[in-house]
Amino acid sequence: MGRESDFDLVVVGGGINGAGIARDAAGRGLRVLLCEQDDLASHTSSASTKLIHGGLRYLEHYEFRLVGKALVEREVLLRAAPHIIRPLRFVVPYFKGLRPAWFIRLGLFLYDHLDFGKRQLLPGSCGIRVAGHPAGAVLDGQFTRGFEYSDARVDDARLVVLNAVDAAQRGATVLTRTACTGARIDGERWVMDLADAGGGGLRQVRTRALVNATGPWVSEFLDHTLRIGARRHIRRVKGSHIVVPRLFDHDFAYLFQNPDGRVVFAIPYQGRYTLIGTTDVEWHGNPAQAAISDDEVAYLCTAVNRYFTVHIGPPDVVWSFAGVRPLVEDEKSSASAVTRDYVLEMQDNGAPLLSVFGGKITTYRKLAEDVVARLAPRLGEIGRPWTASARLPGGDIGGARFDDFLQQCAEHYPWLPAELRERLASAYGTRIARILGDARGLADLGEAIGDGLYEGELRYLVDHEWARTSEDILWRRTKLGLRALPETRTRLDAWLGAYSVPRVAIG
């Protein structure tokens, strides 16, 4: 066993909720440790539909409070990270025989107003005629009318990483590939066992408070790791997505109603693709092993084929991913009806333990603020809430819209190929300067790994974003895995093998 270190707060789980909590707490002056058993965002938080949204369909379940809260957060997050979170306009073709037009109109009216006037960055909803609309050309001829409304899209995995980067900048210790394998109370402290799969072995840390942000593992962590028994449970609901070569070449996304009452999104993705999802299937296995089934692929293909003139089938699928929603168990029979809101549960037998049940990416910042507020009385003097008006790393693009920032990048780095420039600006925002430094041409970026990856970016990802494997880089820090050639992966593995990885000191 290594030495013990003392913290105010240890957060277990490096998904969006854990990373957000660590950032909030570190920014209030607390000594924070965040530990994640795999890579940051390895599980649910990189398998979402990638929307920062109020959740139009939750209105049907009378979730007005949740939708209102999420709509307010949508605006906050658009300002905090304009590089990785961007406005997205949705088209809803009107499908006769499903929800009546007045019902959709009422829903959209509520959606435009439930944030009590906080919406400033996004236009409101409106009715459309499909003929002549840019999104109309690919729709089947039976659709003549529809609606438009606004939401936003996010690079979910990067949102997690940026929260961890910000937490670390504010003094938090971030340990990836480090599982919490046990914890017990000693006086007024938790003593926690951490196992570092990256070669650091076992060590113990002490902390005044413990947060269980393990997402779909939340009850398991209480039952098996802490052995104190979960008083509340979650319902694990698998949701899967498919990615196909792009089905349209405009920037609108679609919300399609399904005859089973569910909705399916078709979203422009990574320039060359369309992302389609999602499904709702009860999941009883290990969340880390969730994968799409043939039935789900067929379901998603059928859902879009109902609407588009071009039809797709399983052979068109270039990538798929599945995640497990950790939903608060509320005894509802249908998985789509279970609330997407979160519940925080505090247990205090000498040292506080707060467990996070449920939640959405969209509400993570508010959740983090609520978690720290709940723990505050047990943590002594701490700073005030601060994240509502703070930017995430790279998000300080001034008053500029993202397109203007992109233009500034084009003027500053005229030698960067347009596709690479857009990718770097979108992923890193103003931190693009840290990657490009004083480079005056591609040759200054170091070894060319392939598919637009250069050594300069890799160094940044390993040194500042905890990237360790080619999968971390190709599927979470970037989405280059979608198109990377086998040679690129081989060169990337070789580069990573030769690079000396910085060790994170604890405490």
Ligand X SMILES: Cc1cc2nc3c(=O)[nH]c(=O)nc-3n(C[C@H](O)[C@H](O)[C@H](O)COP(=O)(O)OP(=O)(O)OC[C@H]3O[C@@H](n4cnc5c(N)ncnc54)[C@H](O)[C@@H]3O)c2cc1C
* Residues in contact with ligand X by the rule CB under 6 A: 12-18, 35-38, 42-45, 47-51, 53, 179-180, 213-217, 221, 225, 239, 278, 323-326, 359-362
For residues 36 and 472, which CB has a smaller minimum distance to ligand X in the complex? 36
CA distance 27 to 151: 28
Smallest gap from Cβ 357 to ligand X, in A, equals 9
Smallest gap from Cβ 298 to ligand X, in A, equals 17
* Cβ atoms 295, 316 nearer than 8 A: no
Smallest gap from Cβ 195 to ligand X, in A, equals 9
For residues 127 and 182, which CB has a smaller minimum distance to ligand X in the complex? 182
For residues 50 and 477, which CB has a smaller minimum distance to ligand X in the complex? 50
Smallest gap from Cβ 309 to ligand X, in A, equals 27
What DSSP string describes 57-114?
A: GGGGGT-HHHHHHHHHHHHHHHHH-TTTEEEEEEEEE--TTSS-HHHHHHHHHHHHHT
For residues 146 and 359, which CB has a smaller minimum distance to ligand X in the complex? 359
Smallest gap from Cβ 201 to ligand X, in A, equals 16
Smallest gap from Cβ 216 to ligand X, in A, equals 6
Q: What angle do CA 390, 393, 394 make, to 5 degrees?
A: 110
For residues 322 and 416, which CB has a smaller minimum distance to ligand X in the complex? 322
For residues 343 and 410, which CB has a smaller minimum distance to ligand X in the complex? 343
CA distance 346 to 348: 7
For residues 358 and 429, which CB has a smaller minimum distance to ligand X in the complex? 358
CA-based nearest residue to 409, from 389, 394, 392: 394
CA distance 298 to 279: 11
For residues 267 and 427, which CB has a smaller minimum distance to ligand X in the complex? 267
Smallest gap from Cβ 239 to ligand X, in A, equals 2
For residues 327 and 445, which CB has a smaller minimum distance to ligand X in the complex? 327
Smallest gap from Cβ 418 to ligand X, in A, equals 28
Smallest gap from Cβ 50 to ligand X, in A, equals 6
CA-based nearest residue to 211, from 381, 374, 380: 374
For residues 426 and 430, which CB has a smaller minimum distance to ligand X in the complex? 426
Smallest gap from Cβ 144 to ligand X, in A, equals 29
- 282, 283, 284, 287: CA torsion to nearest 10: -160
186-201 exposure pattern, b = at least 16 Cβ within 10 A, e = fewer: eeebbbbbbbbeeebe
Provide Rg for the chain, Cα atoms: 23
Residue 74 tokens read as 């949508």
CA-based nearest residue to 18, from 175, 224, 185: 175
CA distance 439 to 267: 35
**Angle, helix 156-169 to helix 16-27, in steps of 10 degrees:** 30
253, β-bridge pairs: 90
Q: What are phi and psi of 77, to 5 degrees?
A: -75, -35
